[in-house]
Structure 1
Amino acid sequence: MVRYITVSTCNLNQWALDFEGNRDRIIQSIHEAKAHGSQLRVGPELEITGYGCLDHFLENDTYQHSWEIYSQILSDQSTHGLILDIGMPIIHKSVKYNCRLISYNGKILLIRPKLYLANDGNYREMRHFTPWKKPKYYEDFTLPSEIHKVSGQKSVRFGDCLISTNETKLGAETCEELFTPNSPHIAMALDGAEIFTNSSGSHHELRKLDTRMGLIMEATKKCGGVYLYANQRGCDGDRLYYDGCASIIMNGEMLAQGSQFSLKDVEVITATVDLDDVTAYRNVKSASYQTSTEPYHTIESGIHLSLGSDMDPLVVPTKPIDVRYHLPEEEIALGPACWLWDYLRRSKTAGFFLPLSGGIDSCATATIVHSMCRLVLEAVQSGDKVVIADVQALVHEPGFIPKTTQDIAGKIFYTSFMGTENSSKETRSRAKELSEVIGSYHVDLNMDNLVSAVVTLFEVSTGKRPIFKIFGGSQTENLALQNIQARLRMVLAYLFAQLLPWTRSKAGGLLVLGSANVDECLRGYLTKYDCSSADINPIGGISKTDLKKFIHWATSSFDMPILDDFLTATPTAELEPITKDYVQSDEIDMGMTYDELSRFGKLRKVDKCGPYSMFIKLYHEWSRPPLNLTAEEVATKVMKFWWYYAVNRHKMTTMTPSYHAEQYSPDDNRFDLRPFLINPSFQYGRKKVYELVEKIKVREEEIKKVTLSVD
């Protein structure tokens, strides 16, 4: 018997609690899978509710509505004719589980709860769900009345089981289970499962797709089999962007791969596989000795997946392809741009407002908006009806069809240079020229009168007038005068965001964009409630080093020569007066370079180092060429970082929600959970560091003496 089977998986742009919209996208994906001739369709994790519901998963309504929506999908005759793997949350015996529901022709075959939950970094699944701690165990689950009316079933198997068709066995694992040391697909393969499905809610981080794809490929490279990976794509209402890449892999080779970044709400990929190739691949003696001693409970479905002798003789199994990866610079251009588009279209605001300073951070933010406009234009030109409808709804023009990216930016992107006497002509000019290239509605203003009025109010109230340090003022005065400028820009930003559309006779307000990068947040090199305080921040999880590389890439890739001027300019806040002998510099102000900050951040968050272990690692790195730093110099840098990190930690409690792109983000909102009142001297850690510095000095002297005596 010929065992050719056509299978489909998908990327879906679901939105938290958008039950009916999520249902429609699920049904559309099923229709597309059927149109491709598929006998199996796999969807993303928790696709009925959206993955990022967070504490809405604690509400009973979420579970009730999920069943109501699922019953609508189950009863829809157009979804019959293929096996469906759909994700949703379920309460069983008063316990909440993250589940997969496997069905065929309106009847549920199995409810499979997630065994291992994601519970670190951005994920808090243990807060909302309980893991099914009984591998290969199952119970009976009593179905709710709305399902009983549709399917005629009173109960169904609930647990870790396999499903058998007339040709093969299917097993399901969910997202995090792929990343665990003892992944379920291994035991499933040893018990004869040849097809594995994985519904995922996996987010984008720079340079991390290769890790995920490596694990997916490895899942069948060792065990053999067909692996169908489905993923969420888009922003479902929080800081994460789920980056798709739905994939079909057989015996360790990629057969089909969906896009990572796209404005498409539904993307279905399909492949035809020959299951006899799996049998041949597994014909290895050592593998046959490891067959499962404790078999899974297998649910007999009686379903025919392959057509056997009735199959069209012209159908050919899908050939392997190379895995596709984006450059990190492309990831920055595409991921945050897609994230911004979802925020804009779903908030139904009139557009974005960005304080454009003439520096590289706001330049990068503006360039990402430009990238978003490029993606929108591409989707419009390809005839994407959803994107066209969203664009027309945003600009309130039913017949609007943009011809250029500037057509789009001119209607939804507003920028402003908020200058003072401390601003240079160069930054003002760069901001204006960039706005012209992108096509934003730009406002160039001076706010000296506003700053002066506030300082005068303070003088009248207290009898004392602060002055800048370079004119003889104290550090306290100098900092206060810088901060008032930054905070007034935030006030102006929200004023302009509310009223600029009104000045053009347009309805609605604007989302204010922040532009503080991850390294400045880590160091706390920003003013609390300044112009970094915004509605959303597309670069808040991206390092300065990566932003520079992105701008360099975009200069040629987007044909924007003006960007080169931002690269060559010295990073400066321009909050202090410029004189013949003094120009404010970010890196001098911070007392450390951006490259050093990136290293500190990764050691602190990714490698989980405190001051002492960080010093040891950096001493081994920085005491060698090309830096050749002494132990004391390394210790000074390390302790300076920890001091500023601690004294500024309170700023992270108010940071603008940012696109998550780096593993070392200091975002206090659910990702980096540390107290914001810390003794910044880290007294015990500091003592241990400098004890080690003295030991190193003694040891170095001993080595020097031995070397001299030998010479």
Structure 2
Amino acid sequence: MKDGFIKVATASPEIRVADCAYNAGQIVSAMQEASSKGAKLLVLPELCLTGYTCGDLFLQRALLDGALLALAQILRQTAQLEMITVIGLPIRSQGQLYNCAAVLYQGQLLGLVPKSHLPNYGEFYEQRHFSPAPEENRTFQWEGHEVPFGSKLLFRCNQLPEFTLGVEICEDLWVPIPPSGPLALAGATVICNPSASDETIGKAAYRRQLLCAHSAQLVCAYLYADAGEGESTTDMVFSGHCLIAENGTLLAQAQPFAPRLLLTEIDVQRLEGERRRLTSFGSEPAGYTVLPFDMRLSQTQLTREVSSFPFVPQDGPSRDARCESILAMQAAGLQKRLRHTAAHTAVIGISGGLDSTLALLVTCRAFDQLGRPRGEIIAVTMPGFGTTGRTYRNAQALCQRLEITLLEVNIASAVTGHFADIGQDPDLRDVTYENAQARERTQILMDIANQRQGLVIGTGDLSELALGWATYNGDHMSMYAVNTSIPKTLVRHLVAYAASQAGEALRSVLQDVLDTPVSPELLPAAQGQIVQKTEELVGPYALHDFFLYYAIRWAFPPAKVYRLARYAFAGAYDGKTILHWLRTFYRRFFAQQFKRSCLPDGPKVGSVTLSPRGDWRMPSDACAALWLDELERLTPQ
């Protein structure tokens, strides 16, 4: 439960219709198994103590009394389990019968939640036996004390308030305004749904789609436990299709007709933080009762997928579709700017590296869609002190294959003259030596754009902006920056996707660009080879993009980012290496905000962007002490 991670489970135990004692034994076994595997929350199916398909047996006192006796048996036998369990059973209250979910914890019945919406169509006849939940909460007499009873109950952990449960039952999910909506507004981050949804063709896919969409709409975790083996097949078949989703993502599911204990972890701190960011959960509805419980905070062993490349889909078709969408958005943004400014040309500094290659590909796409000849695109290659033959040749070949105009301006003499003007020793390879080259290149691009009534297209990417790996008023500046919200790990995949769509001649050039080490090429080459490799200086972009995603998009504290990084990069980087570069990330991110405070326009294409006009407003003088101090207290693992 530390860091907001909670091991949760659903199960669909084999039952016997109307055999409450047997079903209680099956439920106890499922509870013990889930608890032994670290679960702190278990959801079981609707009416699983009796069976959902009892029909008119629900009118029999013997069945109803048997269910209560079985519930008492379960409470006694599981009193030692530190795990919330949600179990379905019928409950008589004030002369009516309700389809209820009992919420159990350490031998106590915390509350009873009756079903609000009773299906009475097709194969369902629940209104024949049950009454819908009353409008307001009340109490139920249980073994000499009053138990909260109603659909407006919330169960909240004192030690981790973000862990707040709400319960709705089966049909409640499928109606136009589910009870889970107000429950979420009242503070529930986890919705539990004991269900008995019979299986028909296509229903599993629809159920999965509905569940994921609902969890996204409510920014919640959703645990859905479906009835399965043992229910009567008189007119219905049940598959035990259990699912667990979190904020639109399916974390785990049991395949229909292959029921099993389903285990994963949810992150309630992530959910609470996202709700805070969205500001859509500020108006709490009245009439909801919060029932607190105590649960020790312990370390949760992670098994859920944490991708080491959070900006890049892992499966090929999804990745290709994402790449196509991003390229389309980049091109659309540039098209609008070109039309609005009536620019005659687009001017791009082309280095033979990944970022400028992507910007050039986007610009070509924009011109194609505008119906303008690619010859109006002016690529400028500006060899300097560190330019290698490989990148120089790639820049030339790329322009030739794309049929755009290529200009060459060697900056060596201009920069050497500038060194003389300012008294810079040309043999001193310091920051002035490097940045003077970057600023000279930007000046050339701006002036060529002025000459030809054009726009300078920026090439810098999101990862460089996060780290401040850009020369202020050098490559940091442009008239429209098409890569501004593309992280470096994604830039590589976008270029690779473009290569896969290109003809053989262009593909070979793009492939060599992909194989070239990332470098600003501001220091002289050694035997014609790149000596200045960015990732050796600021750290692996795979790590920095991971840090950026979790530290900025999700606002996780440094210790949690470190924990996730160790989990995601296990076997690739050790804890000491990750911690070293994480310190670098925070130090540079805070120190370099002044560069992001005056960024040029550029299209937002993902959930993370650092535009000072949009998603990221941070004072340039903010101090990193709190974040760095937290990292200093960590021990590399």
Q: TM-score, normalised by structure 2?
A: 0.46
TM-score of the aligned structures, taking structure 1 as reference length: 0.41
